[in-house]
Each structure stands twice: as structure tokens, then as C-alpha cells.
Amino acid sequence: MELRRSQRTNHIIDAVSVLLVLGLLATRGAECRKDRILDSFEYTAVSCRAHSASLTDFGAVGDGVTLNTKAFQAAIDHLSQFASDGGAQLFVPRGRWLTGSFNLTSHFTLYLHKDAVLLASQDVSEWPLIEPLPSYGRGRDAPGGRYISLIFGTNLTDVVITGDNGTIDGQGDLWWQKYRSGQLNYTRPYLIEIMYSDQVQISNLALVNSPSWNVHPVYSSNVIVQGLTITAPVTSPNTDGINPDSSTNVLIEDCYIVSGDDCIAVKSGWDQYGIAFGMPTKGLMIRRLTCISPDSAVIALGSEMSGGIEDVRAEDILAINTESGVRIKTSVGRGGYVKDIYVRRMTMKTMKWVFWMTGNYGSHPDGNFDPNALPAIQGINYGDMVAENVTMAARLEGIAGDPFTGICISNVTIGLAATAKKVQWNCTNIEGITSDVTPQPCELLPDQALTNCAFPTECLPVEAVQIQACSYKRNYLIGYSD
């Protein structure tokens, strides 16, 4: 009996201990799960990473007031050691993270939580000056140097900036005011600039109020820009959405852009500087874009195009209350070329000009441009478009002695606004053909009863890049305590 009771007691104690331990385990389990819920997630990217860290591991404070420039740079400098060991990702948690400019590294992913906001510092000393772009010879706003972009990368391989639609807020108003009142001694910073880099992905982010251009891949290749929501007041100066510049093999898709300048501006350097640098933008696909830009174009080609722009495709574009559709901007002195451009399936609602080409855009970097450097504009194809509430169908102004050739426009129906111009097509120094276009085009674009203007059937290499399912798990890299 004694023995049995004692055994039973022991059993009871055991059972209680087991329950207690189970209970503790359950609690710990819940804590672990809670941690996991906070700091473990999945996303897609062109490359996944072997190493992870959170911005908070580096002393950052997301209160909207503490300056975190050093934390960002320390985190990225620390993670750069893993570049040749599977790469690293930096997680930016929920919070308002005030920061100045910082530089990215190779084989690296910056990931923003959906409630993370990067707030650009309003302190100009947080924006170091860098050299002007060699293909421009000077800054766009002012001669000489320029402020480095908020997120900057140069000479990188394999870099990803993404998130669950987290926000990067350029707080651009300060810069717009300085620009308007002529107080700038240097060119305004961009929000994201990636130079001389290969394998770049910028995706699933909300970019707001950039000081100037939003996304600027330049001298780069294999660039994917996806799922960006870019917004700025339609009156803000030069807040272009995405500007592929002297870059090859670029894909821009599923973006929504409201801005004070061109939604997309394709570029390749400026006059004698761009001619000397000689680096074209070549192999660009733009698809599923929504654009609102009352004073600018959906897609501008130029005006800086001195290195050449070649093989641009665009399809499934929606424009609302935008000045023009695809606009070519160039000048005597630019040199270079714009050739093999293919655009189809655009829907436009409330436009000033559906088609606009400008051969006398002017805007030279200085007086030393070569007056004999004529741009070559040829092979411009527009098909399957519908527009409504349009003021004027087309304003196509080539250059005397240097006509824009090989223009093809097919299956385009343009509905006119109550205030539409009497003359709907005004064409000078251009050559081409049309088919099934209303209202009736100008005499320089006779109807050839062809079926459709060309559009390439082969995909660009960048369209075949495999997207992978990546995951992030909290990794206590350096003395993290909570």
C-alpha cells in the first residue's frame, strides 16, 4: 500500500511536472510562434539570401525622429561580408525610419515591412555630393556635382530592393521649394539610383514625394522593376517615375504612377557628353502600367538620348488625364538615335496629344554642343490604341533636312474632346504610313491598308528571368536583445 501510494504520488507529481513542462513548452512555443509571426515571412525575388539581419540589430529606432543613416550603413557594411557566402538580406520592420543617404552592396536584399516607412532626412548635410554623370557632363538642375540619391548603389551585382509594399518617402517638398526659388547650387537627389550594376530588382514598394526622379537605373543591365506605386503631386517639379538610362535588358511591369513629370522617361545621355560616352538604352519592355501625369508623357523617349535608344516595347498601358502618350523629344546637337520602338494596346482617357514628336526640344547642357550632330529617329510603331476626350490627335515635328522616318500607326481610334482643335494632325518633316486610324491622319502618313504595325514576337532575355520564393527568419546576428 505504502509503496503503491508513494508510487501513485510520484506518478501524480510526474504528471503534474509533465503538465507544467508541457505548459511551459506551450508558452515558449507561443512566444516562438509570436516571434515567427513578427519576423518570418516569404516573398519572391530573383535571388534568395543565406544570411539575414534586422535593422534594429544595428541600433536603429523607428520613431520618425531618430536619424538612422549610420544604422543603415553599419547594417549593410556588416552584411557585405556575406556577398560571396550566399548573400544577405536586411529587414526593415514596422516603424518610421528617418535616414539620410546610404549605399547598397552586392548579393544583397533590402526588404521593407508593409508598415515600414523610410523617411528621407530633411538635413541637406545627410546627402553627400557626388560627381555628375559622365554621359551628362553636369547636373540636370545645376552645373557641377549632385546630391547622392537616398538609396544608392554603384558597381554592384545582384541587388534587390523590395518589400510588402512598404514606403519610401522622399519628403521632397523642401527640395521642390529650393528648386523653384533657384536656391539650389547642386542637382537634387533621386530616390533610388543604381549605377554600373547588373541583376537589379526593385519591386513591391510605395515611393512617395521624391525630391526629383524616383527610380534611376543607369549604365546597368538586367534590371527588373515591378509592382511600384509611385506618387507625387502632379505639380511637383521633375518627379519622373522610372528613368532607364543607358541601360540594357530592362523590364518594367505592373506599376502605378502619378507624377509631376513623365511616368517613364527613357534616356541615354546629353549632347556631346552622351555622344562621347556612347552607351545606349537597348532592350526595354514596359507593360501593365497605369499613368496619370497632366503635364507630361506616359512614356518619354529623351530628351537626353545622345547614346541612342533602341528596341523599346510597351504594351497594355492605361493613361488617365495625361498630356501625351509616347513622346519623342530630341534636338539638333543631340546626335544619337531613337529606333525600333513598338507600342501596342494603350487606352488613353483625357489627353492633350495622343502622339507627339518634338525635334526642337532644345535644353542643351551648355553652348558647346555640335550643331552637326543630328539625331536619327526611325522605326516607330504604334498599334491597337483607343483614346477618348482628346484635344489633338497628333503633333509630329521632325527636323528640317533630318526627317523622322519609318513611322507606322495602325488600328487607332481617337475620340475628341468638346474643345478639340480644328486641325487634328499637324505633321512636318516626318515619313510613314497608317492603317485604320481615326480621325484621318495627315498626308505625310498615307493609309496603306496594312493590317498591323510591327511588334516583336521574341521575348527579351530579362522576361525569362526566374523569380524564386524566398523567406526571411529572424537571425540574432549581433548581440540582439529585446
Judged by CB under 6 A, the residue of 45, 75, 130, 462 near ligand NAG is 130
**419 vs 481, beta carbon nearer ligand NAG:** 419
| 122 lies in the site for ligand NAG, by CB under 6 A | no
Q: How far is the CB of 203 from ligand NAG (least distance, A)?
A: 11
β-pairing verdict for 221-231 and 264-266: unpaired
| 171 lies in the site for ligand NAG, by CB under 6 A | no
Judged by CB under 6 A, the residue of 40, 66, 73, 405 near ligand NAG is 73
Q: How many residues does the chain have?
A: 482
Q: How far is the CB of 302 from ligand NAG (least distance, A)?
A: 17
Active-site residue (options: 240, 261, 271, 384): 261
Which span (32-40, 152-160, 243-251, 293-301) binds ligand NAG, by CB under 6 A?
152-160
| 196 lies in the site for ligand NAG, by CB under 6 A | yes
**130 vs 326, beta carbon nearer ligand NAG:** 130
Q: Give catalytic status of residue 261 as yes or no.
A: yes
Q: Which of 192, 203, 210, 243 is nearest to 467 (CA)?
A: 203
Q: What is the 3-state secondary structure (H, E, C) of 190-201?
A: CCEEEECCEEEE
The C-alpha cell 516573398 sits at 43
Question: How many alpha carbons fall within 13 Å on the CB side of residue 405?
Answer: 7
CA angle 147, 150, 155 (to 5 degrees): 85
The C-alpha cell 543607369 sits at 218
| 386 lies in the site for ligand NAG, by CB under 6 A | yes
| 44 lies in the site for ligand NAG, by CB under 6 A | no
| 67 lies in the site for ligand NAG, by CB under 6 A | no
Per the CB < 8 A criterion, the answer to whether 140 and 196 are in contact is: no
| 169 lies in the site for ligand NAG, by CB under 6 A | no
**206 vs 223, beta carbon nearer ligand NAG:** 206
Cell numbers for 142: 545645376
β-pairing verdict for 88-92 and 108-112: parallel
Distance (Å, whole) CA 104 – CA 84 = 15
Strand partners of residue 216: 193
Judged by CB under 6 A, the residue of 106, 157, 350, 378 near ligand NAG is 350
| 389 lies in the site for ligand NAG, by CB under 6 A | yes
Cis status, amide bond into 217, omega within 30 of 0: no
Distance (Å, whole) CA 76 – CA 435 = 55
Which positions are catalytic?
Answer: 261
Positions touching ligand NAG (CB under 6 A) are: 73, 103, 128, 130, 148, 152, 154-155, 165, 183, 185, 196, 206, 229, 345, 350, 384, 386, 389, 391, 397, 411, 417, 419, 423, 426, 428
